[in-house]
Amino acid sequence: MAGVAAAREAVCALRQEIARIEGRLAETLDRPGIDAVLARRRGVAVMPHLTTGAARFDAALGGGIPAAGLSEIHGRLTRDAGAVSGLALALAVLAAGNGPVVWIATSEMLREAGDPYLPGIAALYGIRPGRLLVAQAARIADVLWIAEEAASLEAVGAILLELRGNPHVLDLTATRRLHRRALASGRPLFLLRHGAEAEATAAPLRLVVSPEPAAERSTLAGPLRGSIGPPAFHVLIDKNRLSPQAAFLLQWNAGRRIFEEKGHEPAATDTRHLAAVPVDRPDLPAEAGEVMAFRRRPGDPAPRQRTSGQRPAHRRA
């Protein structure tokens, strides 16, 4: 009996340690459908999930993106950095509200993908230059230290940590520290990883993002032919506690600040952010096709020819 009691105490201690690492109640470990995150901000409990606006995507995630803690956003190739950072910025807007967003990256990653373009970020996501704080460091250890310190600041709304590959410094212990800091402060920390292989981390959610062709821009008269509409993303839920793998096509509605599923009609149309139909110009020309020279038929007027005394205006006699 003593051996059974000792084994039971060991199991209980292990359950408590797992719950402490994951930031959950130990009683909820037997119920995978409940995600009780122990995160509070200024004494007020934060919502466990952030809804993105895409109903099927939120349902697959169990309610939405985690409102606190570490979440991974992967890009299989470094050239997909624009799509990865674009999706992460949209999620940061949903989480931060009017609070500042901290973007932390290695110097190598900024050389590969470029510095954040503030006018474009302000126009597409509503994050003004005063609300976006960018930090960089050459060493990955320094970048992780900055991220841990930023996760402890009360004024920060969301944090983006951008790295490349699978550095040995970013191990399970390092991700646990980041996850615990973000849970304790009640804010999300999005780990952007470019050209990285999936490995064991403390993040309960991992998304794999790649660019998707954008739809045509919507106007009051319908789609504007040949235009580029809202940015679109191919999102694969690669790791999630509440659902198996699933892929979705999402597009970002910059006017309403929500995601919409590509190929599905939006729930409501906000005409304030639609391009107006031009009224002082003729209709759009017909689509160009093949042009062939035909022989003049009998009865057609002869083409006007220039006389010997006429010259182009830009040429002198």
Asked if pLDDT for residue 22 goes beyond 70, the answer is no
pLDDT digits (tens, 9 = 90+) for 61-107: 888 999 999 999 999 988 899 999 999 999 999 988 888 999 999 99
Residues pairing with 235 in the sheet: 209, 248
pLDDT of 200-233, one tens digit each?
A: 899 999 999 999 988 877 778 777 887 788 889 9
Indicate the residue type of 175: T
Q: Which pair of structure tokens corresponds to residue 157? A: 């709304």
Q: What is the per-residue pLDDT across 154-201, written as a single tens digit (0 to 9) for each?
A: 889 999 999 998 999 999 999 999 999 999 888 899 999 999 888 989
pLDDT number for residue 30: 47
CB-count exposure of residue 57 (10 Å: 0-12, 13-18, 19+): buried
CATH of 42-267, one of 3.40.20.10, 3.40.50.300, 3.30.70.890, 3.40.50.1820: 3.40.50.300
Beta strands in the chain (DSSP E): 40-41, 44-45, 49-50, 65-66, 69-75, 101-106, 132-137, 158-164, 188-194, 205-212, 217-219, 222-224, 232-240, 246-253, 258-261
Domain range annotation of the chain: 42-267
Q: In this structure, what DSSP letter does residue 266 have?
A: -
pLDDT band at 152 (very low <50, low <70, confident <90, very high): confident
pLDDT tens track for 231-278: 899 999 999 877 778 899 999 988 888 898 876 544 343 333 344 444
Tokens of 297: 């038929």
- Please identify which residue in the block is written with the tokens 């009998």: 298
Whole-structure pTM value: 0.68
